[in-house]
Chains A and B, each alone.
Chain A
Amino acid sequence: MKISDVAAILQADVLVEGNMDTEVKTACGSDMMSDVLAFVKDQSVLLTGLMNPQVVRTAEMMDMHCIIFVRGKEADPMVLQLAEQKDITVLQTRYRMFTACGMLYEAGLRGGCEKE
């Protein structure tokens, strides 16, 4: 699916608009950045409840295209600015982590971790 589809499914606000036509197949949901960094397998979407610049850095190192902040956290301008620099789309959804992940999984997005 496209990032625009992800946004539609989660009824998300687009906080930083990168390329919404980018195809994404896999995602990863975590609040521990080292856990995210442990499984490099072309995951292109990161769902997280954390709001700090290191979330963007982590996505950057992993070549991820889209960050989704779950359960409507207040956005930090510094985070958004960094994402814009790195051409990473930032979405925000009012759904909580479990629900957001479930909705995307149901729509066909997969984990893409080595163990799956």
Chain B
Amino acid sequence: MSGLSLKYEVPGDDFTRAGEASSDVKRKLKKLGYDPDAIRRVAIAMYEGEINMVIHAGGGQAFVTIEPERVDIVLEDHGPGIADVEKAMQAGYSTAPDQVRSLGFGAGMGLPNMKKYTDEMTIDTEVGKGTTLKMTVLVNHKS
């Protein structure tokens, strides 16, 4: 069956606006009556991904598909790519500059968080070309 498909532009030049896409998805899921725990997992995972696109990749696009049993999130950017994905997945690993850290990010917790809160996550990345991150959250649809 076909779900609700959403597409967002995530601007890379405005840190203050990062998270608007995730916020919108969260609001839509709430309206649709999804389980609060599932909504929170989607919101946090997508938000971390959105922030990563803004601080590491100069922005990108987010594609979200909402179905009764699952929410799929695809985050696509044309940033620098990730040279060592295994390393990037480790808690505490971050290449974020001090200026990003002073904004409250760069703890190296984003990717591990995303992995933790989603049921499936794959990273497709190439240095110099960009990164595509796919995440799936399985939900218990209520109402």
Contacts and interface: CB of A to CB of B under 8 A. Distances in A.
A61 interface: yes
Contacts of B36: 63
Q: Which of A55, A57, A62, A63 has the most CB of B within 10 A?
A: A57
Contact of A33 (B22, B23, B40, B105): B105
Interface residues of A, number: 21
Contacts of B19: 53-54, 57, 60-61
A39 B126 CA distance: 31
A78 B108 CA distance: 27
A37 B47 contact: yes
Contacts of A52: 15-16, 103-104
Nearest to A54: B104
Interface of B: 15-19, 22-23, 26, 36, 40-41, 43-44, 47-48, 51, 103-110, 112-113, 116-117
Interface of A: 31-35, 37-38, 40, 48, 50, 52-55, 57-58, 60-63, 78
